[in-house]
Structure 1
């Protein structure tokens, strides 16, 4: 499995990590507020709705899961940082679920926020990320149409097989590729490796699923996802706007 490193630099691109305080504030403030609302006094609220799956196989430090059909709202972002891309994409998705759609409909928060690292034809000066929001089943057949300026599309996932590795703490630019590498090694050393193909061409190189808000310090949960073809069964995806 090829591991994509989101911290790719090139001399022609200049400093890819220069600080932009005003933009950070515009993105971070609403993002932190909504994620804080999802984690503050979490014990008093029911858990967020998540995609349905069954566990097919269990390895030493990973699972093979079969996910049921799902719909995801997607914000594409070109950036050089996994963290910045996730913040920017989720900011647009949050506006959408808070009523930034043609129906002025509010959609309940779900989990995880899933950021896919998309294979890019131009790795030296850009990286592509797909930041996804799981659409609740109530809205699956007819999700509200996003406002055009949010530039949000939808992905309709068929049933698919995913290899998953769980890791704690915060998902950051420096540890995300390391966690993906660990999953790659575990998969290559597993008994079923010879009967599987990963990652699948045309889909994410891998994705990071984040379940915890930024103010949750303990028991944080993140996952690395890799789509796999297992036992000659392909899990597909179709996209629509």
Structure 2
């Protein structure tokens, strides 16, 4: 997993956008795994973060050479498992497997096939310089209606 924010995304936050706006970093940093999107059907990923409220209605347009694209998420439901430490390839996969096992025993067990471009996402809430007390989450998109859950 990425322990530091993507270089292009960091440039955008530091003012590499059409109106040179510096954008305050928000959490979580979200790394979404896209299965089979890479070469030879390997997984790929994309990194994102939420824009601060003052930029949400009209986000600064990134410089074209950054090749960044906005992603607006409609309201949806996610199943979440928290874990501590640094998000690394080995423990992220382990935590995703634990969440899948937990979900298999619930009404959401069959709802992880909910139409999504992502296999799962990792939310990282702390600076890479924070060593203790770190908070991370693994997220699976789930179908809200299958278990009688409502979203607003």
Q: How does the TM-score come out when normalised to structure 1?
A: 0.57
CA drift of 1:174 comes to 1.1
Q: 1:207 maps to which residue?
A: 121
Report how far residue 218 of structure 1 moved: 1.0
Q: Which consecutive residues of structure 2, in runs of 5 or more, have no partner in the other structure?
A: none
Deviating beyond 4 angstroms after TM superposition, the runs of 4 or more aligned structure 1 residues are 232-235
Residue 123 (structure 1) shift: 6.1
Q: What is the CA–CA distance in structure 2 between the aligned matches of 1:175 and 1:111, rounded to whole Å?
A: 20
Q: In the alignment, what sits opposite 1:130?
A: 46
Mark the structure with the bigger radius of gyration.
1
C-alpha offsets along residues 181-211 of structure 1, whole Å, 9 cap, x if unaligned?
0000011112x236x5114233210000001
Gaps of 5+ in 1: 1-81, 236-241
- SS of the residue 2:31 aligns to: strand
Match of 2:29 among 88, 113, 136: 113
- CA gap 1:121/1:203 in 2 versus in 1, 3 angstroms: closer
Q: So what's the TM-score if we normalise by structure 2?
A: 0.88
Q: Which whole-Å CA distance do the structure 2 matches of 1:200 and 1:155 have between them?
A: 18
Flag the 1:186–1:163 CA change in 2: closer, same or farther, 3 A. Answer: same
How many residue pairs match? The answer is 149
1:199–1:226: 8 Å Cα contact kept in structure 2?
no
Contact 1:199–1:205 (CA under 8 A) maintained in structure 2: no
Structure with more of its chain in strand, by fraction: 1
